[in-house]
């Protein structure tokens, strides 16, 4: 890079109804809205849909550009949630948010039936941690709705994903495996301009792998030519560096990881502490801008 950052590529992410989301001029902040009783990163679950909606409204006020609603934990060791229970958790929240917020709502799910119903309720993006590997029908659901799709790199299932964390060249293998899923999405009828890729920090990766991903993020941008989302927020890869602090006490570590992601060219960062991380992103973007070609 000749001592400077390459300019972040710009994209127009196509969304339902002819809308677009501009990615590139600045790094966007995606607020995490977990409506699960067993989230690894939240101090307490939301008691009801109304409290979840209020939390989302607060995130937007604090600077969130997107809200990601999830009803099934993907923490290490997590067990699957039946579709009817996941629907009970997320659909009322998505319905309310789509009617109240002026930012896109994303549904964090691997299930075609949940994606279909959430998109019908007004969600604009599907965030699939399996990158279409778990449910073969999900791709066609996204294609029919004209929705955006986030493809995250992971191996295996959350209950045993660390058994798959064996890499010779972590970024090279992530690039190759994500490229396969980009091709699968296009084969399912999803336009390339609706796709975002996520290297999956913390998913089927040992701490050294996750740090390596953050250090080598520009390689992903160059290889796949798609917008990049990075979600390091409060994850366990930073636990040892933070002397064993629990997830809810990892926001300072998250700030460092978010800064690295922005400097590495991320288009979106997915975070829990939206107010604080919005400030981090703004300053990191200014540094990047000052040191770009």
Beta-carbon count within 10 A of 23 CB:
23
Cβ-Cβ contacts under 8 Å for 5 (sequence gap 6 or more): 263, 265, 288, 291, 292, 293
235 in active site? yes
**Residue written as token pair 């922005």:** 262
Instruction: Find the catalytic residue in 235, 239, 250, 288.
Output: 235
| Tokens 């977990």 sit on residue | 34
Pairing of strands 20-23, 11-14: antiparallel
Instruction: Establish whether 88 is a catalytic residue.
Output: no
User: What residue spans of the chain are helical by DSSP H?
Assistant: 49-62, 83-100, 112-120, 138-145, 170-187, 207-215, 217-224, 251-263, 274-290
Check: CB of residue 33 under 8 Å from CB of residue 118: no
Q: Per the residue annotation, which of 133, 157, 270, 288 is the catalytic one?
A: 270
SS3 state at 13: strand
**DSSP code of residue 8:** P
Q: Which residues are catalytic?
A: 235, 270
């Amino acid at each position: 890079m000749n001592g400077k950052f390459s300019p972040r590529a710009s994209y127009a992410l196509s969304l339902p109804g002819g809308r677009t989301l501009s990615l590139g001029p600045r790094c966007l902040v995606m607020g995490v809205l977990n409506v699960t009783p067993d989230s690894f990163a939240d101090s307490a679950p939301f008691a009801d849909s109304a409290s979840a909606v209020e939390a989302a409204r607060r995130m937007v006020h604090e600077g969130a550009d997107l809200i990601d609603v999830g009803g099934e934990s993907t923490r290490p060791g997590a067990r699957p949630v039946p579709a009817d229970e996941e629907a009970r958790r997320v659909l009322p929240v998505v319905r309310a948010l789509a009617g109240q917020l002026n930012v896109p709502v994303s549904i964090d799910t691997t299930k075609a039936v949940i994606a279909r119903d959430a998109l019908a309720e007004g969600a604009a993006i599907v965030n699939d941690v399996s990158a279409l590997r778990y449910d073969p029908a999900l791709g066609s659901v996204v294609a029919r709705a004209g929705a955006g799709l986030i493809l995250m790199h992971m191996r295996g299932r959350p209950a045993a994903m660390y058994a798959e964390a064996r890499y010779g060249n972590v970024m090279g293998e992530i690039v190759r495996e994500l490229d396969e899923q980009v091709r699968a999405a296009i084969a399912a009828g999803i336009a390339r301009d609706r796709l975002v890729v996520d290297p999956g920090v913390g998913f089927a990766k040992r701490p050294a792998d996750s740090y390596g991903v953050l250090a080598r993020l520009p390689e992903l941008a160059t290889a796949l030519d798609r917008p990049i989302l990075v979600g390091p927020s409060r994850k366990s890869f930073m636990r040892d560096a933070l002397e064993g602090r629990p997830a809810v006490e990892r926001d300072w570590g998250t700030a460092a990881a978010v800064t690295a992601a922005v400097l590495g060219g991320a288009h979106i960062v997915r975070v829990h502490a939206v107010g604080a991380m919005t400030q981090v992103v703004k300053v990191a973007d200014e540094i990047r801008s000052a040191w770009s070609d």
